[in-house]
Amino acid sequence: MEQSVELSRRLQEVVSCVSCYPVADVGTDHGYVAIALAQKETGKVFGSDVNAGPLFHARENVARFGVEEKVELRLGSGLTPFQRGEIRSAVFAGMGGMLILRLLEEKREVTDGLEELVLSPQQDIPAVRKGVEAIGFGIIEEKMLKEDGKYYVIIHCRRGAVPYTKPIDYLYGGKLLEEKNLVLLAFLREEEKRVHTIARRLKAAQTPKAQERLREVEQESILIQEAVACLQH
């Protein structure tokens, strides 16, 4: 019986979003997501990484789990190891949001041939939501979870899907707001406390720079309250 690879809950959710093959796990590291994708379906899976060291370990793991015929590993940055039409889907998980957007721009002829993106950016999530729309994708699903004390968002995109329309959708995730996601609500409650604490300190400072920053924080508070209202009604 085939041994199943063990993934964190976040990466399990990433794998569950993938519906198009052939698929590339970009920044595959030790190859666990690529292996899980190969165990999930019969389609072709690629794993790419900019560093040779992790790719060596990925190759060992691919052999250990017996998926050598399904998984092909390639060395290179982002999508540069691929040709247009070679993959239909790409996974970018565990890297910064601005890096993801840069890698998608790095080899546009490959990006433009993709039908699906599954992204789990560590920072700059609103920028990622806007950025994928700028290159022809729309967000069809978002997932949010808390694992080991940290919040994670997974963004599932399809080429040509309907774009978000409101600023708050890009900030907090239109699909998460639409489904009244309880993890997002918990996150926003924590954000409310953080912003309130910052505002109280800025009010006490009474300097022009502090007052300017206070206006920004108060605007952020209004948007958080708007999002909370969406989730509660």
In percent, how much of the chain has pLDDT > 90? 89
pLDDT at position 204: 86
Q: What is the mean pLDDT of residues 99-109?
A: 96
In percent, how much of the chain has pLDDT > 70? 99
Nearest to 61 by CA among 45, 50, 77: 45
Token pair recorded at residue 196: 């309130």
pLDDT at position 233: 82
* pLDDT tops 90 at residue 1: no
The neighbour count for residue 47, using CB atoms within 10 Å, is 31
* Intra-chain end-to-end CA distance of the chain, in Å: 48
**φ, ψ (nearest 5 deg) of residue 120:** -135, 75
Crossing angle between the packed helical segments 182-205 and 208-232, to the nearest 10 degrees: 160
* pLDDT tops 70 at residue 195: yes
pLDDT at position 205: 84
pLDDT at position 5: 93
The amino acid at residue 104 is L
- Given pLDDT bands bounded at 50, 70 and 90, which one contains residue 2? low
Sign of the CA dihedral with 174 first, then 180, 181, and 187 last: positive
Q: What average pLDDT is seen over the chain?
A: 95
Render 74-143 in DSSP notation, one character per residue.
EESSTTTT--TTS-SEEEEESS-HHHHHHHHHHTHHHHTT-SEEEEE-SS-HHHHHHHHHHTTEEEEEEE
Q: Model's pTM, two decimal places?
A: 0.94
Residues 6+ apart with CB under 8 A from 117: 89, 90, 91, 92, 104, 132, 137, 155, 156, 157
In this predicted model, what pLDDT tens digit does every residue of 109-142 receive, in sequence order? Answer: 999 999 999 999 999 999 999 999 999 999 999 9
In this predicted model, what pLDDT tens digit does every residue of 51-71 receive, in sequence order? Answer: 999 999 999 999 999 999 999
Contact between 89 and 25 under an 8 Å Cβ cutoff? The reply is: no
Token pair recorded at residue 98: 């601005």
Cα–Cα dist 40/209, whole Å: 54
Contact between 18 and 116 under an 8 Å Cβ cutoff? The reply is: yes
Angstrom CA distances, 164 to 75, 79, 111, 132, 133, stand at 35, 26, 20, 11, 9
- Residue boundaries of the structural domains of the chain: 9-164, 184-232
The neighbour count for residue 170, using CB atoms within 10 Å, is 20
In this predicted model, what pLDDT tens digit does every residue of 159-191 receive, in sequence order? Answer: 999 999 999 999 999 999 999 999 999 999 999
CATH superfamily for 9-164 is Vaccinia Virus protein VP39 (3.40.50.150)
